[in-house]
Structure 1
C-alpha cells in the first residue's frame, strides 16, 4: 500500500542530509508538500538539491534555520506558518556526531550533540504539536539510531542523545494519542552515507560483518519506514520504535 499524503504539509529537519533528502522525496512522492530544513550555511548546497527536486516535479521547498536554537526555530516556524499554513507532519531528522571517549570529550562536544540531536525535538515539535491536536490529525517521526539502543564506544554524547529521542517519543505519544496525533521513532542502523564513509576502512569492514543482511542500509530504507508511519495505514501505531538496521541489533 502506497501512503497517500495529499493535502498534508510536512517539515523535515536535516532535510538536505543523506537520510533527510530521501525522506523529503518519499513524502513528496506520496503527495505531501514538503519543507526541508537546513542550516543557513548549507543553503548553497541545497540549491542543487532544489533543482533536482524541481526537475522531478516534487513539491519541496527549503527553509534555513538552526534547529538547536529555540528562539531561531520559533521565529522561523512562525514565518513558515504565515507563508505555508499548518504543518501536519514533523520528521526530526537533524543529527550530528562529535565522537570522543568520555575521558577526552569536551563540554562543547557534549553540548553540540545534545543540542542538535535532542534539544531540536523540543524546539521544532513544541510550537507545532498544539495545532496538530486542534486539527485532530498529525504525525511526528523522530530519527534515533541503533547506537541509541546498544551504545557505541566513543559516542556517549551521541548514544545518550539518541536514546533520549525515543524517551521523548514515548512520553509525547501518550500526551497526544487521543487527539489523532501519532508519535514514533525510526532507529536506523549503519546507512550508506558520508557519515559512514568517514569511518576508517578497517572499522567499516568490522561493522559490515556484524550486519546479518550483509549490507549497509540505504537512505531509501529509512524514508520508506518514515512514509509508512506518516500514513493512515499506521494510525494505530504510536510510541513505537521501528528498527531499520538489517538485523544488526534485535530486541524483544
Structure 2
C-alpha cells in the first residue's frame, strides 16, 4: 500500500507546474493521494501533468483569500473526495515597496492571500480531519521572517504570522491526530528548474539574484522545487507523527548565517 493511499490533499498555489506546491502535489499523487489544486488561475496544465502520470486530480478555480472562495473549494472537495486530509497553503502574494508606499489596499491584499487564507482553509477543513482522527496541515512561510527583508514588510509580516498560526493551532488540534508544521523556504528558482536557458527576470544591482542568495547561504546552491519533495513527504505522512508546531527551514543555511 502506498504511503498516502486513501488520503486527499488540497494544495493552494499549485496552478503552475513550476513551483514547490506542484512538486508536492506530484509527490503526494505518486504516493497514492487524490489531489485538489486550488488557484486563482486555470490549473489545466498542472492537472494534465498529473493525470498523465495516472494521478487522480481536480482543479478548483477560486480565491482562497475570501470566505466565499474557500466555501466553494470545500463544496467541490467534499462532493468529489469526501474531505481533505492534507492541507498545503502555498498561494502567495509578493509585492515590493517601502513602507511609506504600501497602501492599505496593498497591505490587505498581501495579508489576505498569505495569512487570512490560512484561517479560511483551516476553518473549512479541520472539522473533517478531527472526525477522521487524522490530518496534516502545512503552511508555507518564508525565511524572510528570519533573515529580515526590507521593502516588503507586509509580506514578511504575513509570513511571520504563519509561524504563530502553526504553533497555536498545533497546540489546539494535536490530541485529534492532526499535526501542523510549516515549511519555510528561502529563495527558490522556479524558472531554471523548468528551462536551464530561461532568461533571468529577477535582477538586483545588475546581478543575478540567485548569485547573491548563494553568497548568503551556508550551502552554495540554488534551491529548486524538487529539493522540497522529501520534506513535504515527511510532513504529510505518519513519518512525522511525533512532530508538530515546528517550522522547517529549507534555505541552504541562509537563516543560520543571518
TM value normalised by structure 1:
0.92
Check conservation: 1:3, 1:232, Cα contact below 8 A: no
Quote how far apart the aligned CAs of 1:70 are.
1.0
Query: What SS does structure 2 have at the residue aligned with 1:36?
Result: strand
SS of the residue corresponding to residue 119 of structure 2 reads: helix
User: CA deviation digits over 1:53-103, x for unaligned, max 9?
Assistant: 222222222111100011221133123212221211101111110110102
Partner of 1:23: 24
Q: How does 1:30-41 map to 2 (within 5 A)?
A: 30-39=31-40
Cα contact 1:24–1:60 (8 A) shared by 2? no
Selected match of 2:58 from 55, 61, 73: 61
SS at match of 2:181: strand
Alignment of 1:127-138 (within 5 A): 127-138=124-135
1:13–1:20: 8 Å Cα contact kept in structure 2?
yes
Is the deviation greater in 220-229 or in 237-246?
Answer: 220-229
The root-mean-square deviation of aligned C-alpha atoms, in Å, is: 2.0
Question: Does 1:163 find its partner at 2:160?
Answer: yes
Residue 197 of structure 1 deviates from its aligned partner by: 4.7
Measured against aligned partners, the alpha-carbon deviations of 1:192-225 in whole angstroms (never above 9, x if no partner) come to 1259954215151322211221122111122321
Q: Look up the SS of the partner of 1:15 in the other structure.
A: coil
Q: For structure 1, which runs of at least 5 residues remain unmatched after alignment?
A: none
* Residue of structure 2 in register with 1:142 after alignment: 139
Match for residue 176 of structure 1 among 170, 173, 182:
173
Over 3 Å counting, the alpha-carbon distance change for 1:156 and 1:123 in structure 2 is: same
Q: Counterparts of 2:132 and 2:55 in 1: how far apart (Å)? A: 26
Cα distance between partner residues in 2 of 1:212 and 1:38:
34
**2-structure distance, mates of 1:203, 1:160:** 26
Structure-to-structure mapping, 1:241-252, within 5 angstroms: 241-250=247-256
Match in the other structure for 2:13: 14
Q: Secondary structure at the match of 1:182?
A: strand
For residues 198 and 124 of structure 1, do their structure 2 counterparts lie closer, same or farther at Cα, with a shift above 3 Å needed? farther
Name whichever structure is richer in helix by fraction: 1
SS of 1:21's equivalent in the other structure is helix
The yes-or-no answer on 1:202 pairing with 2:207 is yes
Map 1:42-61 to 2 at 5 A. 42-43=41-42, 46-61=43-58
Paired residues, what number? 246
Would the aligned equivalents of 2:36 and 2:77 in 1 still touch at CA under 8 Å? no
Q: What is the CA–CA distance in structure 1 between the aligned matches of 2:58 and 2:148, rounded to whole Å?
A: 35
Q: Secondary structure at the match of 1:49?
A: helix
Indicate conservation of the 8 Å contact 2:166/2:182, yes or no: yes
Q: By how many angstroms is 1:8 displaced?
A: 0.4
TM-score relative to the length of structure 2: 0.90
Does structure 1 conserve the Cα–Cα contact (< 8 Å) formed by 2:64 and 2:117?
Answer: yes
C-alpha contact (below 8 Å) 1:3/1:227 kept by paired residues: no
Asked whether the 8 Å contact 1:186–1:241 carries over to 2, the reply is yes
